[in-house]
């Protein structure tokens, strides 16, 4: 984007809002065609601003903006509709998805496939879909789009096909390695071949698959976050202890 080129009619979601002044906001958005952007919403904090009720997370918007710097200026926002509101547990899961995008996705790097996966995950969660399939599907897509795609169907050392009955140690930089004996597996996810095959098929009906896939994705995401903690996960764990 060069000069003060104006961009219009862009599908987007709000990821996060930051106060900019007494009257304005900086809006972190995820757009389908331009990726993640920071937009200055002038006057959005004023009581009578038309933007106050529009700049909501988890709702599809059509945005327009202009500007050449790192922070563009929001010129237009319209609600598209068609997305049920998230509530309760699903609201927290939505914030988890948003935090992953904010912390892992570079600015102005388009990811249309990831945008569609995010929209589909929100819609499924809002309609009461099972958590595990939606979260794992989105996490896999996120890692793949960032260049960290998972090898789930073959053993990393031999290239042999994964066997459902075997156990594998999943090494972050290599993939699944057949576990032989009781060696040190600290900080390495150990999971059954069936879990890997179920993840390929997006089949999370087996409780063991749900548990092991969650453990694996948590390890991989933590690695690629470089130690940055996820606040949404901390809040979720604290609420579960109440």
Q: How far is CA 221 from CA 49, 94, 108, 139, 172, in A?
A: 38, 16, 21, 8, 10
Would you call 196 helix, strand, or coil by DSSP? helix
Model pLDDT for residues 30-89, shown as the tens digit of each residue: 999 999 999 999 999 998 898 888 999 999 999 999 998 899 999 999 999 888 888 888
92: helix, coil or strand? Answer: helix
Residue 205 CA to residue 216 CA, distance in Å, equals 17
Which residue segments constitute the domains of the chain, with CATH numbers given? 7-79 (2.40.50.140)
Tell me the pLDDT tens digit for each residue of 125-165: 998 877 889 999 999 999 999 999 999 999 999 999 999 99
pTM of the predicted protein model: 0.90
Closest by Cα among 54, 51, 55, 62 to 17: 55
Angle at 94 between CA 146 and CA 76, to 5 degrees: 80
Q: What is the DSSP string of 152-192?
A: -SB-TTT-PBP-TTSEEEEETTTEEEE--SS---TTSEEEE
């Amino acid at each position: 984007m060069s000069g003060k080129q104006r961009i219009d009619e862009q599908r987007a979601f709000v990821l996060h809002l930051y106060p900019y002044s007494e009257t304005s906001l900086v809006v972190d958005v995820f757009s389908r065609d331009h990726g993640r952007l920071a937009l200055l919403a002038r006057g959005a904090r004023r009581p009578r601003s038309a933007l106050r009720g529009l700049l909501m997370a988890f709702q599809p918007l059509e945005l327009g903006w202009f500007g050449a710097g790192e922070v563009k200026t929001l010129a237009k926002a319209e609600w598209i509709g068609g997305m049920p509101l998230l509530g309760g547990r699903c609201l927290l899961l939505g914030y988890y998805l948003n935090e992953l995008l904010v912390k892992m996705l570079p600015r102005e790097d388009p990811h249309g496939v990831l945008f569609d996966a995010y929209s589909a995950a929100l819609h499924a969660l809002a309609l009461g879909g099972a958590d595990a399939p939606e979260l794992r599907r989105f996490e896999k897509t996120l890692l793949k789009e960032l260049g960290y795609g998972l090898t789930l169907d073959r053993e990393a050392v031999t290239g042999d096909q994964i066997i459902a009955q075997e156990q594998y140690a999943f090494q972050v930089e290599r993939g699944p390695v057949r576990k032989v004996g009781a060696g040190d597996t600290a900080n390495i996810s150990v999971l059954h071949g069936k879990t890997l095959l179920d993840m390929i098929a997006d089949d999370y009906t087996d409780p063991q698959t749900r548990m092991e896939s969650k453990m694996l994705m948590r390890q991989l995401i933590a690695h690629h976050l470089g130690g940055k903690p996820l606040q949404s996960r901390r809040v979720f764990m604290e609420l579960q202890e109440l």
